[in-house]
Amino acid sequence: MTMRSTAEALDAQDPLAKYRQQFLINDPSLCYLDGNSLGRIPRETITVVENYLRHEWGTKLVSGWAQWIDEAQTVGDLIGRSALGATAGQTLCVDTTSVNFYQLCCAAVDARPGRNIVISDTANFPTDRYVLEGICKQRGLKLVLIDDDHGEEFVSTEMLAAVLSENVALVTLSVIQYRSGSLHDVAKLTKLARDAGALFVWDASHGVGVVPLQFDRDGVDLAVGCTYKYGNSGPGSPAWLYVSRAIQNKLGVPIQGWFAQEDQFEMGQGFERAPGMRGYQVASPSIVGLRCVSTAFSMIEQAGLPAIARKAAHGTELMIALHDAWLAPLGFSLVTSRDAKHRGGHITLRHPQARKISEAMRIFGNVIGDFRRPDCLRLAISPLPTSYAEVWDGFSRIRDLVATRKHDEIRESTNRVT
């Protein structure tokens, strides 16, 4: 596993290798191991967006809305069938993950009047915890956070069962933990919450486009996620929300915008909600953003999630082998599970100097990963654009850099973003 020829052989047999050239790669010597944070840009996106600007917005002007008006639903359906295991009519591509999370969590707690507890975990992504704090404060609910802010940051069925009761309205977790990379058991945890009468909102931001989610099969009620990580749709690209058909007309979101109005262009008095997923749409979607999403998710659909997930498993296995051989002797330890069934596309390593190492990697090694407090370094394979050789080169540069203590040259960081 530690020979470069092993990585080269994996690339030679890789059924997804052809996708790398479909991405814009300006610097071939860069090892980009941060596709779990922001994916690379597909070349096609540049053409699609330019065509949209010139030949749709530029030419059709406001008449274009006749074609654009339902695009949040059609692009939502594409995300659903390519990456979520969701049949049509259950996914919308709109707004941001944070806004969608607020919308669906409010919808869930409002659908369980008389229950006053919301459950999440301490290791969950900050926006989720902050939004929940706000919802609980506004509605007088109690927020219970399962303490898993250590080790693999994994919430087991036993840990959830221990805090469930007939007073729980909502349970919400991330499919993959943003920091440790742990993958939760979506089907089992959802069933446990449902059996206790609670609704579950999943945040699949770190899972979408890299693990084969099966929302319809797994009985998922509600979920949100972004499109800019393994979705490769660009910084701030529209996010998505999923509401299972069975509960769509039983729940309502707090922001009642005009896109959810049954007779939208009647522009009449009083809100009358459209049935189905349109009832969850607030406002005019970003059509430029939707084109970025549809281009990138069409590539995911063509490549197929099973093949993408297989490459993520092999790529993270290669990373773990290189960590064991090269990085563990230099003071690193592995946080993420060694079992590929319990992780997605990124692994997390702990090192007391992780922040300096992450910066030194960019400055001296031309390797991009990222640092997460307090001492974590995240490294990812994004199966469509990343090659196995890119992973190997990145790890060998990290090894050389830390072995020669180049990171000691890094001073206090002035960068607000890590």
**Which residues belong to the active site?**
125, 203, 228-229, 378
- How many residues interact with ligand PLP (rule CB under 6 A)? 13
Tell me if 214 contacts ligand PLP by CB under 6 A. Answer: no
Neighbours of 277 (CB within 10 A): 24
> Cα Rg for the chain, rounded, in angstroms?
22
- Least distance to ligand PLP from the beta carbon of 186, Å? 14
- The interface region with ligand PLP, picked from 180-188, 199-207, 270-278, 341-349 by CB under 6 A, is 199-207
Q: Residue 96 or residue 264: which is nearer to ligand PLP going by CB?
A: 96
Of 125, 297, 371, 395, the one binding ligand PLP by CB under 6 A: 125
CA distance 74 to 285: 12
* Least distance to ligand PLP, CB of residue 127, Å: 5
Please count the helices (runs of H) and the strands (runs of E) in the chain.
13, 13
Is residue 226 a contact point for ligand PLP (CB under 6 A)? yes
* Alpha carbon distance 246, 255 (integer Å): 21
Residues 159-178 that bind ligand PLP (CB under 6 A): 174, 178
Options 185, 203, 359, 370; binder of ligand PLP; rule CB under 6 A: 203
Q: Which stretch binds ligand PLP (CB under 6 A): 120-128, 297-305, 334-342, 403-411?
A: 120-128
- 242, 80 contact by CB (below 8 A): yes
Are 90 and 80 spatial neighbours (Cβ–Cβ below 8 Å)? Answer: yes
* DSSP string over 60-80: HGGGGHHHHTTHHHHHHHHHI
Structure tokens at 172: 């919400």
Interface residue with ligand PLP, options 2, 6, 116, 127 (CB under 6 A): 127
- Residue 257 CB, nearest distance to ligand PLP (Å)? 18
Phi/psi zone of residue 140: left (φ > 0), alpha (ψ -120 to 50 degrees), beta? left
Choosing from 184, 206, 343, 356, the residue that interacts with ligand PLP (CB under 6 A) is 206
Distance in angstroms (rounded) separating the CA atoms of residues 160 and 186: 12
Residue 106 C-beta: closest distance to ligand PLP, Å: 15
Closer of 116 and 127 to ligand PLP (Cβ)? 127
List the structure tokens of 319.
């990373």
Angstrom distance (rounded) from CA 234 to CA 30 = 19
State yes or no: residue 239 binds ligand PLP (CB under 6 A): yes
- Reported in sequence order, the residue ranges of 60-178 that DSSP labels E, i.e. its strands, are 91-93, 117-121, 142-146, 168-174
Options 22, 91, 98, 337; binder of ligand PLP; rule CB under 6 A: 98
Q: Of 10 and 41, which CB lies nearer to ligand PLP in the complex structure? A: 41
Taking CB under 6 A as the criterion, the residue among 172, 205, 261, 348 binding ligand PLP is 205
Question: What are 366's two structure tokens?
Answer: 């031309």
Please, are residues 276 and 249 in contact by the beta-carbon 8 Å criterion?
A: yes
Question: Which of these segments, 14-22, 123-131, 153-161, 380-388, binds ligand PLP (CB under 6 A)?
Answer: 123-131
Span interacting with ligand PLP, options 44-52, 122-130, 188-196, 268-276, rule CB under 6 A: 122-130
Cis, peptide link before residue 374, omega less than 30° from 0: yes
Q: Residue type for 236, please?
A: G
Task: Name the minimum Å distance from CB 98 to ligand PLP.
Answer: 3
Binding-site ranges for ligand PLP (CB under 6 A): 96-98, 125, 127-128, 174, 178, 203, 205-206, 226, 239
